């Protein structure tokens, strides 16, 4: 499960049964960490959600300098308890640490979330500065370069730059640096795939997205970027699987764009009810929102014949984003000019003003 989702669960009053039903978890690890100077003691229990019983417990001791090794030992003990056979090469990959700096890893995760929604340039620039700080904290950690690369691509995607070609060149150079630093950190390939896709090199973008999935299939954000690239490449039907996998891997963190892009994929597949359900689910959990997805939500309601709901969305948009012109943005997400024209006709008919 993605780190951010688990932190969300930590703040909620949850029990074994609810976690099992909501997230499909078969086992839950519970425990405590006690510190006394430089000494650390970890007490853990592994719970089978099907029965609610403890199937294993352990106590590990060490020092603050030994914390990451304790994590490795704990992970292997759990795998052994669940009788999971891990081959030597898999074990090496399983225990690989991409950075020894907890601060760098935490800041990297926070910066990715801060990027969404990129409705204003300041949010993107702040996230970019955070990625730059990640590089300062650990110059060998691929995440800082990959995240910074993706922030430049986001500037192009959301039209927050006057020089998109230069931004994408910077994005590619940073992503290639990320891969060079750590070929086993998937976000480097994912960032490069996004840069190529937004450069119009769709097949090359998908090639790198597939490489990212092959390296780290359990990274929710990597699955999301794969789905994003598939939608932009005119393959929305294929995008459903990786986008749903991103949600499965990271179910509890609301500040992710997974549901919105899943809604775009459904919309482009002509599954308008599924599109509406995805957009509404995102809003219900207070996920990222802005005019870029609201135009699709309105158009999806219009396709379903729910004109009043569609008009209400457009009216709210006209008040909140009076100067927003969506046509160039929408053109990227449609498989054909005819599909784009259909959407624009809906929006204009519903009251979206035409921009000169």
pLDDT tens, residue by residue, 45-76: 888 888 888 888 888 888 877 777 888 888 88
For the segment 265-309, what is each residue's pLDDT rounded down to a tens digit?
Answer: 999 999 999 999 999 999 999 999 999 999 999 999 999 999 999
Residues 55 and 111 in one domain: no
Which tokens go with 204? 């090359």
Residue 13 has pLDDT above 60, yes or no: no
Q: What is the pLDDT of residue 77?
A: 82
CATH of the domain at 152: 1.25.40.10
233 in a structural domain: no
Same domain, 56 and 163: no
Would you state the pLDDT for residue 215?
92
Whether 229 is covered by a domain: the verdict is: no
Same domain, 133 and 56: no
Instruction: Give the other-Cβ count within 10 Å of 355's Cβ.
Output: 9
350, two tokens: 């519903």
Of 348, 329, 339, 351, residue with least CA distance to 119: 329
CATH number of the domain bearing residue 89: 3.40.50.10070
d(CA 328, CA 45): 53
Same domain for 102 and 83: no
Q: CA 135, 140, 146 angle in degrees (round to 5)?
A: 60
Neighbours of 148 (CB within 10 A): 25
Q: Which of 63, 94, 125 is the last residue of a domain?
A: 94
Return mean pLDDT, the chain. 89
Do 102 and 69 lie in one domain? The reply is no
Per-residue pLDDT band for 94 (boundaries 50, 70, 90) equals low
What is the reported pLDDT for 3? 66
Same domain, 297 and 342: yes
Indicate if 336 and 258 belong to the same structural domain: yes
**102: in domain:** yes
Number of domains in the chain: 3
Domain-terminating residue out of 55, 78, 94: 94
Q: Is the pLDDT of residue 7 over 70?
A: no
Closest CA to 142 of 102, 184, 193: 184
Shared-domain flag, residues 79 and 108: no
Which band of pLDDT confidence, cut at 50, 70 and 90, is reported for residue 97?
Answer: confident
116 & 188 share domain: yes
Q: Is residue 232, in this structure, part of any structural domain at all?
A: no
Residues 85 and 116 reside in one and the same domain = no
What count of Cα atoms within 13 Å lies in the side-chain half-sphere of residue 123? 15
What residues contact residue 118 under an 8 Å CB cut-off, 6+ apart?
A: 124, 154, 155, 157, 158, 160
Residues paired with residue 31 on neighbouring β-strands, in sequence order:
44
Residue 1 has pLDDT above 70, yes or no: no
Of the three residues 70, 94, 118, the one that is the final residue of a domain is 94
Residue 236 is assigned to a structural domain of this protein: no
212 and 102, same structural domain?
A: yes
User: What is the C-alpha to C-alpha distance for residues 169 and 25, in angstroms, rounded to an integer?
Assistant: 42
138 belongs to a structural domain: yes
Q: Considering the domain boundaries, does residue 235 fall inside one?
A: no
Report pTM: 0.82
Domain residues for 89? 3-94
pLDDT beyond 70 at 109: yes
Domain contains 239: no
Query: Is 161 in the same domain as 265?
Result: no
């Amino acid at each position: 499960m993605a780190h951010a989702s688990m932190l969300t669960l930590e703040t909620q009053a949850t029990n074994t049964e609810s976690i099992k039903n909501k997230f499909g978890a078969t086992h839950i690890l519970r425990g405590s960490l006690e510190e006394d100077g430089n000494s650390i003691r970890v007490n853990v229990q592994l719970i089978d959600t099907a029965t609610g019983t403890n199937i294993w417990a352990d106590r590990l001791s060490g020092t603050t300098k030994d914390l990451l090794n304790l994590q490795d030992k704990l992970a292997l003990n759990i795998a052994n308890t669940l009788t999971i056979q891990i081959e030597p090469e898999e074990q090496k990959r399983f225990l690989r640490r991409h950075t020894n700096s907890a601060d760098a890893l935490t800041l990297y995760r926070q910066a990715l979330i801060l990027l969404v929604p990129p409705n204003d340039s300041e949010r993107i620039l702040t996230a970019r500065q955070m990625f730059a700080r990640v590089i300062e904290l650990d110059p060998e950690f691929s995440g800082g370069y990959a995240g910074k690369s993706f922030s430049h691509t986001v500037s192009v995607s959301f039209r927050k730059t006057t020089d998109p070609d230069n931004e994408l060149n910077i994005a590619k150079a940073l992503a290639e640096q990320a891969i060079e630093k750590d070929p086993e950190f998937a976000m480097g390939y994912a960032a490069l795939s996004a840069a190529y896709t937004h450069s119009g090199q769709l097949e090359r973008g998908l090639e790198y997205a597939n490489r990212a999935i092959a390296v780290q299939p359990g990274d929710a954000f990597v699955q999301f970027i794969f789905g994003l690239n598939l939608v932009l490449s005119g393959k929305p039907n294929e995008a459903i699987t990786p986008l749903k996998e991103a949600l499965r891997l990271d179910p509890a963190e609301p500040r992710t764009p997974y549901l919105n892009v899943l809604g775009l994929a459904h919309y482009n597949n002509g599954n308008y009810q599924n599109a509406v359900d995805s957009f509404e689910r995102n809003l219900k959990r207070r996920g990222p929102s802005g005019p870029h997805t609201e135009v699709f939500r309105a158009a999806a309601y219009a396709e379903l014949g729910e004109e009043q709901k569609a008009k209400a969305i457009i009216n709210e948009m006209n008040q909140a984003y009076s100067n927003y012109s969506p046509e160039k943005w929408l053109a990227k997400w449609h498989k054909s000019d005819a599909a784009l024209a259909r959407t624009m006709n809906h929006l204009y008919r519903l009251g979206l003003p035409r921009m000169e």
